[in-house]
Amino acid sequence: MVFLALLLVAVQILFNLYATSVVTSISYDAARRVAAVDGGPGSVGQAEASARRALGRYADRVSFEWSVGDEAVVLRVRARNPSVLLPSFDSPLAFNRIDRTLRVRVERFR
């Protein structure tokens, strides 16, 4: 039983690390695209749609909160991972949530 429990925790940690890196990478690319066009009209929608396509079915678990300013694009991404652990172990270990805030500076030609 101890081996099985450790195996399940290891699987959950590996899945969480993979999901966190994928969500962070795709979100950073989306924020960078918006910042590259100075947060122009429609750029947020296009970037988010592209990110959701890249995430596939996992995109149903992800929420995007955008803030486009003159100096920076701020994107907060939240996701909920599926769990292989029992609910009593899942919440205290915080393996089931991703919460990232990305800031990308808007670049302008001078």
Structure pTM? 0.82
Q: Which of the residue ranges 2-6, 31-35, 66-70, 82-86 would you say has the lowest mean pLDDT?
A: 82-86
- The DSSP symbol for 110 reads -
Q: Which of the residue ranges 16-25, 26-35, 45-54, 78-87 would you say has the lowest mean pLDDT?
A: 78-87
Helices 2-36 + 43-55 axis angle, to 10: 150
Structure token pair of residue 6 = 């450790």
Q: What is the pLDDT of residues 44-101, one digit of tens each?
A: 999 999 999 999 999 999 999 999 988 899 999 999 887 766 665 555 556 678 899 9
Query: Across the chain, which distance is largest between two alpha carbons, in Å?
Result: 64
**How many Cβ atoms from other residues are within 10 Å of residue 26's Cβ?**
20
* Cα 1 to Cα 107: distance, rounded to the nearest angstrom: 55
